[in-house]
Structure 1
Amino acid sequence: MTSSVLVPMTYGPLSEQALRHALETYPDSEVTALHVVDFRSSDRGPGGWGDEPSEWDDWLDTARAHADELFADARDVAAEYDRELRTESTVGKAAPTIVEYAEEHDPDVVVMGSHDRSAPARFLLGSVADHVVRRSPVPVLLVR
């Protein structure tokens, strides 16, 4: 029996599909939506936070506010299934942070989108899903 499910969330449509799949497939499980604020990317370019510590604080505040919006949408999806949703956000590189979270919290399964980037970005940056599949200590279900 599956008692806990981890759903890494991004702003792409496959994350919502993964969340819906987890809620439908594991109706009696606790579902946790995890968003990793990746400090390597930003609308301000690589790094995103500038040269001053205050710029990092501003960037991080904005990133966390966006994560809160993401979680509000995810909670709305969970409500459609009459379900509660646990949410967590953390800062780090997306793929290794998801694996580390799975190692520390030991969910029964990770359900995630197969990709949320364009083909050129996946080629240049690698696929988060590929990394998680190869290194996760628990089974990973990819939704596409």
Structure 2
Amino acid sequence: MYLVFNDLVTLYSDFKGVREADHLYLTVTDSAAVAQPRGLFMPLNDDSGELLDAIANGAIAAIWERGKPVPKYTPNHFPIFFTDYPIEAVRDLLRFYYKKIDGDQAEKMNVTKFVFLNKKLLKENKETYDIAVMLDNVSMKNTNNDVERRG
């Protein structure tokens, strides 16, 4: 089950660009240099790279820090979702996606690939950006503590 445009509208109601209800995102990444077919680009700091490179590598949307200027070369139709806290946006997106795929009984399921490579953030936080570990961390922080991990 892929992450889709309407999922992002649920999380980030402030956006610009064309409403593309049929957009689905195969990749979510913080690195513009990564091949990201049908990608969602999330620049977390200056080391993430330029939006232009992300678009060249396949990004079809971005989650952007509110107040940070969107580059003038950004296509008018390109969806940009705004957030006040990019790091929190990662956690919110992972929680949302985990809930979305939780309970899906499909034996073989298409899933969105999360690729976070920012070494500076990894070093500072002493955490991993492996999706399985990130989901465990998110589920541990769940206030209900009744989330069951399936995989």
TM-score under structure 1 length normalisation: 0.39
More helix by share: 1
TM-score under structure 2 length normalisation: 0.38
Greater RCO (Cα-Cα under 8 Å, separation 6 or more): 1
